């Protein structure tokens, strides 16, 4: 019996530095992913956020679920820096997470350094062209 293609959510079950970004995606762990990503203690996930609307809806629920293991969230908001909405900033503070919005390039570089230092860091990275 022939089986169809199984579509699964993108998830790499480990921590890895980001080796390249641009052209609408990222490279890590000898793989590539087109689109935005969340880098969390439990792995790297495909993420539906965009530069036009990075903070909408429940896009950061995975971060909140892993809040006990995250002290720093680097938020790469695309080419331009976008301020966090006050309610999101306040929620991060209540969870004990320092959340720093910056360009995606700066977030990737900072994430790689903090990951190499084995710090409790996560990243929400908007893909850039």
Concatenate the DSSP letters of all residues of 59-124 into one string.
TTHHHHHTGGG-SEEEEE-SSS--PPPHHHHHHHHHHT-EEEEE-HHHHHHHHHHHHHTT-SEEEE
Contacts of 20 (CB under 8 A, 6+ apart): 26, 27
What is the reported pLDDT for 4?
55
What is the reported pLDDT for 58?
80
What is the reported pLDDT for 6?
46
pLDDT tens digits, the chain, 129 residues: what are they?
556 544 446 677 889 999 999 999 999 999 899 999 999 999 999 998 888 888 776 889 999 999 999 999 999 999 999 999 999 999 999 999 999 899 999 999 999 999 999 999 999 999 999
What is the reported pLDDT for 50?
86
Give yes or no for a contact between 78 and 36, defined as CB atoms under 8 angstroms apart.
no
Give yes or no for a contact between 80 and 113, defined as CB atoms under 8 angstroms apart.
no
What is the reported pLDDT for 71?
97
> Which of these, 125, 115, 123, lies nearest to 16 by C-alpha position?
115
Give yes or no for a contact between 38 and 2, defined as CB atoms under 8 angstroms apart.
no
What is the reported pLDDT for 91?
93
What is the reported pLDDT for 15?
93
Domains of the chain, earliest start first: 11-125 (3.40.1230.10)
């Amino acid at each position: 019996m022939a089986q169809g293609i199984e579509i699964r959510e993108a998830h790499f079950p480990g921590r890895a530095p980001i080796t390249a970004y641009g052209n609408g995606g990222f490279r890590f762990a000898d793989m590539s992913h087109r689109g935005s990503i969340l880098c969390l203690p439990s792995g790297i996930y495909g993420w539906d956020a965009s530069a036009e609307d990075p903070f909408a809806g429940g896009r950061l629920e995975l971060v909140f679920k892993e809040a006990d293991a995250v002290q720093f969230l680097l938020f790469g908001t695309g080419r331009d820096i976008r301020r966090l909405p006050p309610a999101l900033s306040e929620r991060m503070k209540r969870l004990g997470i320092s959340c720093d919005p910056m360009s995606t390039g700066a977030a990737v570089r900072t994430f790689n350094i903090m990951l190499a230092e084995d710090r409790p860091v996560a990243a929400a990275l908007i893909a850039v062209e």
